[in-house]
């Protein structure tokens, strides 16, 4: 009998620089992505501008990474997710031969490396599973586009299923609430804590083109709070604005200032769009915006830990992947 090759579950993620030296090329890859920065005059001009922007921004961004350990925390967090999902499937679904891989958009392992590895191992069946519960043209959409470019270039012949979003999955919502509860327990008076849900923003023009991300973020927040019985006050804000375009509002920075004026003294920030700890949570929220919060009179300010490899989140990923695997096997 010929042994069947495993079904690959390919986790899609932006990735992050794994050293201070990797910061500038990582930024170049980010700004050279036409799905995120759709610049005029074609790819040659985009590459030129991406080179200029990344060169200019690299020193300040390197310093931020230096302050949080010298590399992106998303590197290790994603590796933990890959190992945890593989271990869960190996333990609970031994009847299926699965292999979990990572395809990163802007740093190693690049999508091309992952595709080449699958081709080399003659793996033809796979599920593409973004580590973005809410869908946007610029997160999963960009990763899917890169996957299509690479597979076309390499003439890869895969049977594949794609997960678009899973923000309503009960175990994902339960994982968020478990992390919220862990964080609330660290406050002296948990009942006083205000929840600020902070999501990575996007330019308004992509919302106008039909991008569903902002609405899915709002739905996620309301589903989380409904599961909690709306047990406290909360609101939503957006962070990480880049460039001159109009972005989603209100900004996290301005929201912190306004809530401080209103007399909020105890606050937990919930990074609702991020499943892993990274620079936007550990530096932007925990260092930069902490100064804003304290200057605005918010005395007790905490950032929720990312889902990372929380068991409920891993079970969510497994459930979502298994649904697509069974569909693939019955095609």
Residue 80 makes CB contacts below 8 A (sequence gap 6+) with 308, 309
- How confident is the model at residue 1, as a pLDDT? 34
User: Mean pLDDT score of the chain, rounded to an integer?
Assistant: 95
Is the pLDDT at 98 greater than 90? The verdict is: yes
Is the pLDDT at 251 greater than 90? The verdict is: yes
- Of 34-43, 149-158, 240-249, the poorest mean pLDDT is in 34-43
Q: Are 192 and 265 in contact (CB under 8 A)?
A: yes
- How confident is the model at residue 4, as a pLDDT? 66
Is the pLDDT at 2 greater than 60? The verdict is: no
Thinking of the domain 7-166+311-329, which architecture would CATH place it in? Answer: 3-Layer(aba) Sandwich (3.40)
Residues of the chain with CATH 3.40.50.1400: 7-166+311-329, 170-303
Residue 241 makes CB contacts below 8 A (sequence gap 6+) with 201, 247, 251
CATH class, domain 170-303, is alpha beta
Position of tokens 């390919």?
10
- How confident is the model at residue 41, as a pLDDT? 75
For the stretch 53-69, pLDDT in tens is 999 999 999 999 999 99
DSSP state of 203: B
> What does R_g of the chain's alpha carbons equal in angstroms?
20
Rounded to 5 degrees, φ, ψ at 133 are -60, -30
Percent of the chain surpassing pLDDT 90: 92
Alpha-carbon distance values, 95 to 7, 89, 90, 244 (Å): 12, 9, 9, 52
E strands, 246-326, are: 266-271, 300-303
Residue 264 tokens read as 């909020």
């Amino acid at each position: 009998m010929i042994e069947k090759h495993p079904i690959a579950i390919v986790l899609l993620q932006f990735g992050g620089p794994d050293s201070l030296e990797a910061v500038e090329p990582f930024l170049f890859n980010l700004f050279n992505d036409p799905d995120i920065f759709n610049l005029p005059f074609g790819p040659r001009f985009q590459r030129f501008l991406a080179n200029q922007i990344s060169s200019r921004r690299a020193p300040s961004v390197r310093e931020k990474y230096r302050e949080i350990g010298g590399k992106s925390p998303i590197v290790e967090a994603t590796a933990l997710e890959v190992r945890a999902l593989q271990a869960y499937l190996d333990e609970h679904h031994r009847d299926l031969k699965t292999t979990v891989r990572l395809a990163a958009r802007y740093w190693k392992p690049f999508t091309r490396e992952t595709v080449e590895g699958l081709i080399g191992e003659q793996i033809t069946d796979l599920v593409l599973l973004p580590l973005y519960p809410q869908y946007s043209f610029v997160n999963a959409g960009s990763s899917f586009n890169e996957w299509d470019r690479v597979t076309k270039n390499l003439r890869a012949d895969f049977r594949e299923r794609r997960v678009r979003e899973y923000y309503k999955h009960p175990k994902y919502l339960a994982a968020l609430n478990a992390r919220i509860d862990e964080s609330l327990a660290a406050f002296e008076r948990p009942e006083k804590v205000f929840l600020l849900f902070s999501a990575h923003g996007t330019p308004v023009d992509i919302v106008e083109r039909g991008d569903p991300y902002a609405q899915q973020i709002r739905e996620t927040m309301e589903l989380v709070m409904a599961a909690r019985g709306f047990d406290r006050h909360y609101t939503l804000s957006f962070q990480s604005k880049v460039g001159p375009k109009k972005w989603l509002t209100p900004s996290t920075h301005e929201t912190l200032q306004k809530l401080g004026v209103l007399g909020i003294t105890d606050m937990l920030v919930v990074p609702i769009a991020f499943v892993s700890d990274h620079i936007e949570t550990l530096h932007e929220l925990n260092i930069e915006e902490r100064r804003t919060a304290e200057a605005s009179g918010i005395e007790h300010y905490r950032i929720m830990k990312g889902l990372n490899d929380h068991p409920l989140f891993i079970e969510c990923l497994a459930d979502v992947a298994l649904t697509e695997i069974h569909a693939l096997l019955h095609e």
